Amino acid sequence: MDKLLQYGFTGLSAGSLYALVALGIVLIYRSTRVLNFAHGDIATLATFVAFSMLTSQYSFPVALGGSLLVGSAVGVAFYFGVLVKAQRQGANLLGMVILTLGLALIIQGVVVWTWGAEPVSLPFPISDTKTYQVGPVVMSQLSLATLAAGLVGSLLLYLLVQKTRLGLAMRATSENVMAAQTLGIPTRLVLSVSWGAASALGVVAGIFLAPALLLDPFFMLDPFLKGFAAAVLGGLNSLPGAVVGALILGVAESLTGAYLTIQFKNTLAFLIIIVVLLIRPEGLLGKEFKERV
């Protein structure tokens, strides 16, 4: 039982970061119906910016703020500079998804050219060796900070979407863009906020994942795939579903690595998705999307 609690906590800690990645994917998909395959690479770029600032003796809060600003700016610039123009030219959804893949490749090239391909260690003020014991569960400072970052990021997004006028505009735009425009909502500005907020969530995940991993141009690939899996598991149009799917996935991975085999850990996510989608194609908390014409 003690081991079960320990592995459960470890899974919740990892799942909280998967939740941030999944929330960003779902937020963009809900508003634009575009799957952003550059989500992880934007986080990678911003994390390397934080690395440069930390190694230049900037404080962690300043580096975190700078990386969030860079990540959000890239997301907003891509929306206004590429997607809006593509929409004006009549690009379909598949074409816009391909554009996100192009952005991912560009960012990978920029990161390799600027920082090189060799893995580096991110200087981080929170220790992964100092631990606390709560009953039978041993918690490191980093795992607690990771769990807190996931909870705070999810809470802030909830408050933004559910408790503000901007959030109301975001929900209206995601339901029906044409109706929102008719009501006078500046839909492109609202959608750009969605892209910026989604990118910021991914950056937070990258910052807190980097200390546990070596930082390289592709270190966010696996977390992005896990976040995407969690989003599909919970429902691609459900923000609560993204959180639920991520936590389930994190705990399931941890228990699988502990009680079955570590080699099966990465495969489990996609096996869960196959089973869930065969039973409930829209995901655990998702709703069937109906296009309004």
User: DSSP letter string over 245-256?
Assistant: HHHHHHHHHHHH
pLDDT at 293: 45
What is the residue extent of each domain of the chain?
19-219
> 228 φ, ψ to 5°?
-65, -40
Looking up tokens 């579903």 gives 241
Q: Look up the pTM and report it.
A: 0.91
pLDDT at 196: 95
Which among 49, 54, 38, 76 has a CA at the least distance from the CA of 193? 76
* Residue 246 in tokens: 């991520």
Longest Cα separation, the chain: 60
Say how far apart CA 230 and CA 196 lie, in whole Å.
21
pLDDT at 65: 95
Please list, in sequence order, all residues whose beta carbon lies within 8 angstroms of the beta carbon of residue 288, skipping any fewer than 6 positions away.
282
pLDDT at 197: 94
**Amino acid symbol at 20:** L
pLDDT at 47: 96
pLDDT, mean of each 10-residue run, the chain (293 residues): 80 91 93 91 96 92 95 96 90 91 95 92 83 80 90 92 90 85 88 94 93 88 90 88 90 79 71 80 70 48
Which among 278, 177, 191 has a CA at the least distance from the CA of 232? 278
